[in-house]
Chain A
Amino acid sequence: MRQMIRSTTTALRRDPAPSRLNYRLQRLMLTPMIRRLLRVGLPLGCVALVLAIYLSDQGRRDGIAMLIEDVKSTVRDRPEFMVKLMAIDGASAGLADDIREVMAVDFPVSSFDLDLTRMRLDVAALPAVARVDMRVRPGGVLEVDISERMPVAILRSRNGLDLVDRAGIRVAPLAARSARPDLPLIAGTGAEGAVDEALELFAAAAPLSADVRGLVRVGERRWTLVMDDNQSVLLPESGAVQALEQVIALNQVQQLLGRDVQIVDMRNPRRPTLRLSEGAAEKMREIKVMELGDD
């Protein structure tokens, strides 16, 4: 019978067999999942733990944030990236002042700190600016290219006088009509929507320009040409220019407007109608009576 339970005192030959624990551990280590975990997960975990411990202190976190900020500012503040002045092209002096005020940039400033998109929107929001291009030119110049809105007419509204461009957009307020005698005057509700037509009419009315005071938009559909001496020409909705030319032709032949006529009604171009002033109408009636005799 073999000795079943070995006494501990006898010097045993080393048993080559692995213990159960050793065997299981080796098998565990050969499991692909565990191997991957050990090879990748463990180092990652250690690094993460060290980082977490290191960063758990507020002072260290602030120090790191400051360091990053320092490095950033050294790059940002290099002279190569500094913008020293602004060049505004294509704007009148007053508008340039407005633009400087709106952009509110203190030079010199780093080009990283310039928010060109926002500044562009700000500038484009100015009424007098039609289009704006911005770029930082090499050499540290912020170049602002402006195309200004050109005022073509004066719009009289309830709030006073405004300069408007061809599209009817208000460009600037105007203190007095006499400040811009070169621009025609338009008025009435919806006048700013038909500036183009008004300009055509003014062009057509050039022979009468000395007497013309302005155009009034009536009912947001047609124009009335207002002249000195309370005379006015009511123009139709369509074909206004032809109607006006007809009136001008009549005026040149028969001095129509030199006579005591208050209103030339051209709303129906095939049937021009005249309204005489009160005195003239009385006189006309007397002449008729005189000619035909009293009945």
Chain B
Amino acid sequence: MKDLYQSQRAMRAMRKAAMQRGVVAILDVGTSKIACLVLRFDGPEAFRDSDGVGSLAGQSSFRVIGAATTRSRGVRFGEIDAMQETERAIRTAVQAAQKMANVRVDHVIACLAGGAPRSYGLAGTVEVEGDHVRDQDVARAMAACELPYFGEGREVLHAQPVNFALDHRTGMSDPRGQIGHTLACDMHLLTVDGAVISNLLYCIKRCDLELAGLASSAYVAGVSSLVEDEQELGAACIDMGGGATGLSIFIKKHMIYADAVALGGDQVTSDISKGLQVPLATAERLKTVHGGVVATGMDDRDLIEIGGETGDWELDRRTVSRAELIGIMRPRVEEILEEVRVRLDAAGFEHLPSQQIVLTGGGSQIPGLDTLAPKILGQQVRIARPLRVTGLPQAATGAGFASAVGLCLFAAHPQDEWWDFEIPADRYPQRSLRRAVKWFKDNW
């Protein structure tokens, strides 16, 4: 736990250094594509004159100056499967983005979708020393949270204090300076498989880059796709990626739950490939060009040339009706959504005041999903595209870039995490002066 704290702090220091240099790269290592954005931080409103785009809720302190996407290789279910391949794909994306930005980036903020994220809600209570709450009390309250056993080899990815309660008052965002006796803290802890993180770290290191931050892709997709009201009132964001579907629940601008389903667009593609006996590349093309989830009478007559280059005329000249294609895709999409529904129910989403569900990610672009999803997830479903950020190329504004854009926002305004607060005095290393002072105070 302690070394995680240290490494997260080191990452924060790295992020600060990157901000100082003004250039940082965003790396979204997904199952179907790897996106790399290069951000330049110039302070707010630096591009006002040239761009005409006003301040976007204070998010205009940066500008995207380089963007590149490459087909992902060696990634399955949002986890790195073949490291060499992934490293090459990352290199491709980073090099292209650097070339577009015409600047060298050394710091990268990455997100990962896989690693079986698991959410924990923690609570800690301390008596306030003195009459009002100080930084140290907040630190002690967070340190007092009882950590559950989350399994061997799992690492904490996010640990965000979501609520503070002082005596009988709850729902505080910042208790410091307030008068009270008992300070309670609720913390949301997200753990992922440590091996997945270390694989990603290794890949990034092999590309001569330094990691300046790490986030869960479900979380950052929620940051970019949920509008402010939804984040405040409560909503679930479902990021339908290639290999994994992430879901995150927000309320009061804090993520309170995140999970991932290891199902995604790749399964749909492989279903098509198996069902129609076509290669994966052809299946992917059929899915993106002709795919859908709601069949109409017209679709029966809409015959699609499958195409092929095997040389066998019979095999290459097959056609399939769009209804057939939909018939293959729909069950799998339904399965994904049902799985998401199960996870939401397990998280107790139905008890939240707002039942808003936002679909994003590349998978949300399937035509007809806006008809299918309400049947499974409930009536308040919308399909979202990420927030517009300055300088983002048109090609990278689609739903598939929700996590990349969310990472940009995360880089610009990271949420306070546990490691951003002070270290409680009794956790300091040996020979610490403050510890000595505390011992002195306690004994005299």
Contact = CB atoms under 8 A, between A and B. Distances in A.
Contact of B92 (A16, A20, A27): A16
A15 B92 CA distance: 10
B89 A30 contact: no
Contacts of A118: none
A2 B84 CA distance: 13
B104 A31 contact: yes
Interface in A29-58: 30-32
A32 B207 CA distance: 19
Nearest to A29: B104
Given A23-B91, A30-B98, A16 B104 contact: no
B147 interface: no
A17 interface: yes
A238 interface: no
Interface in B83-120: 88-89, 91-92, 94-95, 98-99, 102-104
Interface residues of A, number: 14
Contact of A23 (B70, B82, B95, B102): B95
Interface in A1-22: 2, 15-18, 20, 22
Contacts of B208: 23-24, 27
B104 A15 contact: no
A18 to B, nearest CB: 5
B92 A17 contact: yes
Given A2-B82, A18-B92, A23 B104 contact: no
Nearest to B89: A17
B99 A26 contact: yes
Contacts of A2: 82
Contacts of B104: 27, 30-32
Contacts of B89: 17
A26 B100 CA distance: 12
A16 B95 CA distance: 11
Nearest to A23: B91
A17 B91 contact: yes
A38 to B, nearest CB: 14
A20 B92 CA distance: 10
A32 B208 CA distance: 17
A20 B102 CA distance: 19
A22 to B, nearest CB: 8
A30 B103 contact: yes
13 contacts: A15-B88, A16-B70, A16-B92, A17-B89, A23-B208, A24-B208, A26-B95, A27-B98, A30-B98, A30-B102, A30-B103, A30-B104, A31-B104
Interface of A: 2, 15-18, 20, 22-24, 26-27, 30-32
Closest 6 CB pairs of A and B: A17-B88, A30-B104, A17-B92, A23-B91, A18-B95, A31-B104
